[in-house]
Structures are given as structure tokens and as C-alpha cells.
Amino acid sequence: MLAIGDELLSGRTKDRNIAHLAQVLTLAGLDLREVRIVPDVEDEIVAALNALRARHDFVFTSGGIGPTHDDITADAVGRAFALAVEPHPEAERRLAAYYEGRSLPFTEARRRMTRTPRGATLIDNPVSVAPGFRVENVFVMAGVPGIFTAMLDNVLPTLPAGPVMTSVAIPCPVGEGDVGGPLGEIQKRHPETAIGSYPKFDGHRCTTELVVRSRSEAARDDAAADIRTMIEGLVAAGAKPA
Amino acid sequence: MLAIGDELLSGRTKDRNIAHLAQVLTLAGLDLREVRIVPDVEDEIVAALNALRARHDFVFTSGGIGPTHDDITADAVGRAFALAVEPHPEAERRLAAYYEGRSLPFTEARRRMTRTPRGATLIDNPVSVAPGFRVENVFVMAGVPGIFTAMLDNVLPTLPAGPVMTSVAIPCPVGEGDVGGPLGEIQKRHPETAIGSYPKFDGHRCTTELVVRSRSEAARDDAAADIRTMIEGLVAAGAKPA
């Protein structure tokens, strides 16, 4: 994913799209592999997009497709793909009808939102009409969370879904420092799983939450059983929160 | 910034450190220029870290410095700098005293948290003692938000503070599409400022929030005055929310 916008890097806006995309892709059986956040600077958007689209099956961008001077994502995507950026006829039709219905002028600024790299496929925007677009493996979407979410809902059915990654979370009443050694051994014995260890700090003492993720339910449950046995052993041996 | 952790990419954990770092750096007069989120995969951490530390004055990392098998940040940083990773004597002393005071065994897993690239400077951790560390322009900190925040508090006074970027937010009662044209002209006339335009959607109609950011208060106020004049003109001409 490529999140675009000065406001994300200045702290003015807290991004909400990254976590949403992460959750939705995980539910769809797809892995989010990398995220970058870049400012509204064309060179930076182009460089990050070219790196990401070469490395990954799909890239999702958020931000920079509105009508103002700081909305430069369409131009950056066009440059990344060496495609001319021009008004998309279907986007023009939709926006002209929308503004006519609202008795708003179809200003030059609003017309900016019809511009896409040549040959782009539109992504419907049921919230405020101005569409996102797809070029090859790159999906260009809005930064406003309600619109990003709605566009993503329209994109998801077009993606190949993988076997779903499921997870089990296992609370562990001792600190990570007691868990680390034996847990590493369990991870080695269950290569089909990804076992994560997360400290839980209540302000006084640390316990641990252990999470087993896998595309195979059997592998997940096998690893989880080993982890539960490990915890019983640690507690029986007197291990406590750290 | 480099945020490290499978849990951020799976959607299991919503990152809170990026927005915090962004706000704190902005207040200190420093610009956050780029963020990457990568999984707990050593090659990916090394590649991202080497890209970021070559491009930027400072890099801040979060995550992966705990005691378990998925905590591989110290090794990745060592590899990025081609430095051996070994127990840091002062970190050993602090953690040995801490666990002795808590009557907890100083396990092999806990000893992992004393490992740093050779020559690293420690970053104090007033929450749970296990330190972060600095190697050249890279600050390696914990992923748990309370600890990340505390470590950052200790790092900030060591950074050169720049002239503070200040901002003014100006509510604008018309849609971005009416603002886009004249606002672009104002941006051109005020190159010392960065003017952002953010749609505000109340579920029915869009207004706009305009934000002027600058390291010069005079430049900021000049641009803000032009924007207020622009808004008065638009409203007088009958512009409305979109």
C-alpha cells in the first residue's frame, strides 16, 4: 500500500486506511506485505509506486485524487507508467451529471477529478461520485476513509482470493522473557505457521499474548496445542508475570 | 520512520507510533519525510533501513526488540551496518539488576534484549528497562506505544531542533471543487508555505478545511489572509457546500 499526503506525515491526520486495508485483505486471504507513506511530492510518489508495483502483485494507493493543487496522484501514476493523463470520458459524464443534479458548477478544479492515465479502468465511488481508477496492478483510491472504504469494497471482488489466513490468540500469564526460548522451538517445529508474541503491560506487570497465524487450520491448531502445553509447563514450574 | 511487525500488516494491531512520531517531530521543527511498514523478515528490514538511512538525516524504528524469536530488529540493524551483534555490557547490567529486583530469572530469551550492534549507544527505557539503541543516524525503539513514547522523549533532546513549522486551519464553507482553482494560484504566490485542502463530508454535503503550514509565521499569515479573501469572494459569488 502507498498512502499519500503531507497531512499524514505532519501528524495533522491520523491514517485510518492502512489498518482497514490490512484487515480486509487478511479476511480475503491476501497478505499486505509492505506500506509506505510519502508526502505530496510527485518524484516521491513516482519512485515509491514504481518500487511497490514491481515487487508486489497489487498496489493500493490512498489520497491525492481530489480537485485541488495538492492532489497530484493521477499525474504521478501517469508518469510512473509513462502514460498520458487526460480526462476520462465516463468520469466526465458521471461528474457532469452529479454536479448538474446538485446545481453546482463543473469548475476546472472539479474537472481535475476526471483525469486518469490513458486506458485506466474506473473504480466506482458511491459516496461522492468522483471515481478512483486502476492501471494494471495499481488501484488508486481516495484518502477520505469513508470513500477509501467504499472504493475498496468495489475492488475486492475483482481480486483473486487466497486461502484465508486464520489466527488463534492465546493469553499467556507469564512474561515474554520466560516464553522466548521454548516458543522459538515451537515456531521451528511448525513452519506452516507464523507465531507472534506480544507483551501486554498493565502498568505494573507484563504478561504475553501469543498469536498463531496460518492458512492451514490443522497446522494452526497443532501449534496452538503445543503452545498451551508449553504454558502449562511454565506455570507448573513457577513462572509468573514479569 | 520504519515500523516493523507482522501484526501491523495483518491488521491485528493498529499502529499508534507513526502518528505520535509525526506530531512530536512537527512540534520540534523536524519534518517526517517518509514512513515504511515492513514485516518481521530480516531481508525486508535490512533493505528498508538501508534505503531510509541513506536518504534521510535520521531514521526511527519501532518494534522487534523484545525477547522472542520474532524480535529480529537488532540483527537486522547489525546486518544493515555490517556490525557484529553482541550483548551490550550496560544493557546486561541494567537488565540483570531489574530481574533480580523482581525475582525473575534472567533467561536466555531476556538476554536477547541486551544484544545490540557493536558500538551502539543505549536509549533509556523507563517503563520496562530493556533499552533501545542508536547506531549512527538510526534510533531503534520498542513497538509497544507506551515504551516507544518514553524512548522518544529521551531521544528528542539529542536532535537538532529546526524552526518550528506552524499551521493555521481555515474552515471554508464551500466544496473543494470551487476552491481548487483560486487556491492553486495562492499556493503559487506563497512558495514558503505548504497549503493543504481537506474535504469535510458531513454525510450529505462537502465543505473544506484549508491548512497553511510554514516555518515563517509572516509567510503563513500572508497566505492565510489571501485565503480568507478568496473565501469571502467565493461566498459573495454564491458558492455553496458541494
The C-alpha cell at B32 is 517526517
B213: nearest Cα among B34, B29, B60: B29
Contact residues, B window 119-158, toward A, CB-based 8 Å cutoff: 127-128, 144, 146-147
Domain extent listing, chain A = 2-158, 166-236
CA–CA–CA angle A203, A209, A214 (5° rounding): 155
Task: Tell me whether B35 touches chain A (CB under 8 Å).
Answer: yes
Query: Given this structure, which CATH class describes domain B166-236?
Result: alpha beta
Q: What is the dihedral of CA B44, B49, B51, B56, to 10 degrees?
A: 160
Instruction: Say how many CA atoms lie within 13 Å of A100 toward its Cβ.
Output: 6
Distance, CA of B103 to CA of B242 (rounded, Å): 65
Distance, CA of A95 to CA of A93 (rounded, Å): 6
Cβ-nearest to B67 among A15, A105, A180 = A180
| Average pLDDT value for residue range B161-167 | 83
Residues in chain A closer than 8 A to B69 (CB atoms): 180, 183-184, 187, 195, 197
Residue B187: its pLDDT value, please?
94
Superfamily of segment(s) A2-158: MoaB/Mog-like domain (3.40.980.10)
Q: Mind listing the pLDDT tens digit for each residue in B87-139?
A: 999 999 999 999 999 888 899 989 999 999 999 999 999 998 999 999 999 99
The proportion of chain B whose per-residue pLDDT surpasses 90, expressed as a percent, equals 79
The C-alpha cell at B115 is 544484544
Task: Report the greatest alpha carbon distance in chain B.
Answer: 75
Q: Mind listing the pLDDT tens digit for each residue in B189-217?
A: 999 999 999 988 787 888 999 999 998 99
Q: Mind listing the pLDDT tens digit for each residue in A168-205?
A: 999 999 988 889 889 999 999 999 999 999 988 787 88
Compute CA A85 distance to the chain's CA centroid, rounded to the nearest angstrom: 26
Q: Cell 531476556 sits at which residue?
A: B110
CB within 8 Å of B43: residues ≥ 6 apart: none
Residue A200: its pLDDT value, please?
85
Which among B1, B2, B8, B10 is the top mutation candidate for probing chain A, defined by the most A β-carbons within 10 Å of its own β-carbon?
A: B10
What is the average pLDDT value for chain A, to the nearest integer? 94
Burial of B54 (0-12, 13-18, 19+ CB in 10 A): exposed
Residue B164: its pLDDT value, please?
83
How far away is chain A from the Cα of B109, in angstroms, using its nearest Cα?
5
Q: Do domains A2-158 and A166-236 have the same CATH topology?
A: no
| Average pLDDT value for residue range A125-131 | 93
Confidence of residue B163 (pLDDT cuts 50, 70, 90): confident
> Which residue would you say has higher pLDDT here, B162 or B76?
B76
Which among A165, A176, A208 is the top mutation candidate for probing chain B, defined by the most B β-carbons within 10 Å of its own β-carbon?
A: A176
Residue A104: its pLDDT value, please?
86
Task: Tally C-beta pairs within 8 A across A and B.
Answer: 217
Task: Tell me whether A191 touches chain B (CB under 8 Å).
Answer: no
Residue A12: its pLDDT value, please?
87
The yes-or-no verdict on residue B184 having pLDDT over 80 is yes
Task: Report the greatest alpha carbon distance in chain A.
Answer: 75
Q: Mind listing the pLDDT tens digit for each residue in A32-83?
A: 999 999 999 999 999 999 999 999 999 999 999 999 889 999 999 999 999 9
Looking at this protein, which amino acid is placed at residue B81? Answer: F
Handedness of CA B98, A199, A34, A36 (dihedral sign): negative
Residue A165: its pLDDT value, please?
82
Nearest CA in chain A to B113: A177
Confidence of residue A161 (pLDDT cuts 50, 70, 90): confident
CA–CA–CA angle B88, B92, B94 (5° rounding): 120
Distance, CA of A20 to CA of A26 (rounded, Å): 10
Residue A162: its pLDDT value, please?
79
